[in-house]
Amino acid sequence: MARILVTGGAGFLGSHLCDRLLDDGHDVLCVDNFFTGSKRNIAHRLEHPYFELMRHDVTFPLYVEVDQIYNLACPASPVHYQHDPVQTTKTSVHGAINMLGLAKRLKARILQASTSEVYGDPEVHPQPEGYWGRVNPIGIRSCYDEGKRCAETLFFDYHRQHNLDIKVVRIFNTYGPRMHPNDGRVVSNFIVQALRGEDITIYGDGRQTRSFCYVDDLIEAFVRMMGTEAGFTGPINIGNPGEFTMIELAEKVLALVGGRSKLVFRPLPSDDPKQRQPDIALAKSVLDWQPKVALEDGLKETIAYFRRTLDGAAA
Ligand code: NAD
Ligand code: UDP
Ligand code: UDP
């Protein structure tokens, strides 16, 4: 049994990771400031003898004793990370410094939840880890993109300078149950709109692409990455190479939900990447991993979750 810290553990991905680690028999410390996460995501674990919840903001120092750290704290939806962009950069950068300082004192292995956003609006397609990206440093997405890039820089400098045992995972768009209905990301928006019979909001012409990974596949890759030998740092892409336009996604959601929602077109936010698809050759060879859940199957699970959640909210 390891003592494992999960920052952002009350969020969408973090709560699934806490579940997995508890099921594997570990002692889990979940740290979250509940900015976008919710106690509801982890309520079913609060009575577990090896689960502990701490309300804390990672931009402040944290003194605890653990063996491993997964650093997920950071809002991930553009709507939420742009709400208080200065806090977003602080969370990525100060949060990384504090968690790296903690890992250094404890000699603990630490994994960073980085993002495909480090590639920005990419000219190389699909994106391999060796691509340096095309990121606007002063745009509305920069607080997130540059914050995450700087966090990667800090991880690699702590590795080179202090010999820290680091793991960096670049996550491509991941979806599933426990996304917040107001999260603002495309999968949850489309499903919630379809279930409520509201218009489906397509930003721009809807021909931009994303590649969607189901949460269970991502968590499996996280755990495998944490278990790799010391010295294997990544960065490593984790995502599902199946690539879809936003119009295709909307049509799939509508076909599964039914109902009478219409597609409506809204302005494209600035710096919105036109295409995104992970090159997962490295994950296949080092982690022996590839995603198993097809988009349609993952959407069915997610739709079922939102049906229950929205029915509960209405009751
Ligand atoms: P989420 O918004 O559901 O979870 C983020 C969690 O971090 C929330 O519980 C939030 O309250 C918490 N948090 C935010 N700021 C904090 C702070 N200063 N101190 C402590 N806790 C804080 O988003 P998610 O999709 O679960 O994303 C988790 C991580 O994975 C993030 O770091 C995100 O950047 C990364 N990521 C996610 C995706 C994806 O598609 N889901 C893609 C790329 C990267
Ligand atoms: N830190 C922390 N918990 C610890 C150790 C360090 O939160 O157990 C924070 C502390 O705020 C520190 C930061 O991590 O400023 C970076 O630590 P490091 O040891 O790298 O640098 P220094 O202490 O010299 O600033
Ligand atoms: N998007 C959309 N309608 C929505 C929300 C998002 O068409 O209601 C688009 C958005 O412009 C982007 C894509 O869907 O091109 C993915 O957006 P999301 O916010 O999920 O993630 P990210 O842009 O960070 O990949």
Query: Closest ligand 1 atom to the C-alpha of 80?
Result: 2
Residue 315 has pLDDT above 80, yes or no: no
pLDDT digits (tens, 9 = 90+) for 167-179: 999 999 999 999 9
Ligand 3 pocket member 188 (CB < 6 A): no
144 is catalytic: yes
- Which residues touch 24 (CB under 8 Å, ≥6 apart)? 223
pLDDT > 70 fraction of the chain, expressed in percent and rounded: 99
Sign (positive or negative) of CA dihedral 7, 50, 67, 64? positive
Pair 218, 293: CB distance under 8 Å = no
Ligand 3 pocket member 202 (CB < 6 A): yes
pLDDT digits (tens, 9 = 90+) for 3-17: 999 999 999 999 999
Ligand 3 pocket member 193 (CB < 6 A): no
- Which residues touch 251 (CB under 8 Å, ≥6 apart)? none
pLDDT digits (tens, 9 = 90+) for 16-52: 999 999 999 999 999 999 999 999 999 999 999 999 9
CB-based pocket (< 6 A), ligand 2: 61-63, 97-98, 101-102, 104-105
Q: In the predicted model, what is the mean pLDDT of residues 248-266?
A: 96
- Which residues touch 168 (CB under 8 Å, ≥6 apart)? 111, 112, 114, 152, 155, 156, 233, 234, 235, 236
Taking the CA of 219 as reference, the closest ligand is 1
Which residue has the CA at smallest separation from atom 15 of ligand 2? 98
Q: 6: closest CA among 105, 92, 99?
A: 99
Query: Closest ligand 1 atom to the C-alpha of 171?
Result: 43
| Given the residues 70, 81, 119, 144, the one annotated as active site | 144
SS (H, E, C) the chain: CCEEEEECCCCHHHHHHHHHHHHCCCEEEEEECCCCCCHHHCHHHCCCCCEEEEECCCCCCCCCCCCEEEECCCCCCHHHHCCCHHHHHHHHHHHHHHHHHHHHHHCCEEEEEEEHHHHECCCCCCECCCCCCECCCCCCCHHHHHHHHHHHHHHHHHHHHHCCCEEEEEECCEECCCCCCCCCCHHHHHHHHHHHCCCEEEECCCCCEEECEEHHHHHHHHHHHHCCCCCCCCCEEECCCCEEEHHHHHHHHHHHHCCCCCEEEECCCCCCCCCCCECCHHHHHHHCCCCCCCHHHHHHHHHHHHHHHHHHHHC
pLDDT digits (tens, 9 = 90+) for 40-92: 999 999 999 999 999 999 999 999 999 999 999 999 999 999 999 999 999 99
Q: In the predicted model, what is the mean pLDDT of residues 204-214?
A: 98
As a whole number, the mean pLDDT across the chain is 97
Residue 221: phi, psi to the nearest 5? Answer: -65, -40
Q: How many A from CA of 73 to the centre of ligand 1? A: 5
What pLDDT was estimated at residue 148? 98
pLDDT digits (tens, 9 = 90+) for 281-306: 999 999 999 999 999 999 999 999 99
Phi-psi region of 206 (alpha: psi -120 to 50; beta: other; left: phi over 0): left
Taking the CA of 268 as reference, the closest ligand is 3
Taking the CA of 38 as reference, the closest ligand is 1
Structural domains of the chain sorted by starting position, each given as residue range(s) with its CATH number in brackets:
3-314 (3.40.50.720)
Confidence of residue 311 (pLDDT cuts 50, 70, 90): confident
pTM for the whole structure: 0.98
Ligand 3 pocket member 201 (CB < 6 A): yes
Residue 313 has pLDDT above 90, yes or no: no
What pLDDT was estimated at residue 259? 85
